[in-house]
Amino acid sequence: MYLLIMVLDDSAYLNDVLAAWTEVGVPGVTILESTGLNRVLQRDAPDVAYTGFSQFFSGGRIGHNTLFSVIEDLTTAEKAVAATEKVIGSLNKPRTGIIFALPIAQSWGVMNGDEEDAD
């Protein structure tokens, strides 16, 4: 198993990327709002100093979306990359995003699709 992670630069593409991932077999995805160091440093320091985290993303487009999913194999990751690039273009271009996969040594609570929902 692998942890597939994407930092999507432009959140306008979020729904299309999620649909593309679902189409190629990526199971459930956890989505977080996030931002990078360069975006924080580009803002005026006084604005950042007095802005709460919940308001941080509402004052103009500063944030990214970070997507996480546990996948079975690297083939699924490669399919997700190809599907993502159909939506946003080459990941080698600036300000598109990054995707990487990390091996998972052990997991708990990850359903492989064979289990029935426990009610």
Query: CB neighbours of 64 closer than 8 A, spacing ≥ 6?
Result: 7, 8, 9, 11, 33, 34, 35, 36, 39, 97
Per-residue confidence band for 112, with pLDDT thresholds at 50, 70 and 90: low
Global pTM reads 0.77
Q: Which tokens is 81 given? A: 């990359």
47-68: pLDDT as tens digits? 545 455 544 444 555 678 999 9
Domains of the chain: 2-32+64-103 (3.30.70.120)
In the numeric block, which tokens belong to residue 92?
A: 């080698």
- Assigned token pair, 49: 């100093």
Q: How far apart are alpha carbons 64 and 33 in whole angstroms?
A: 6
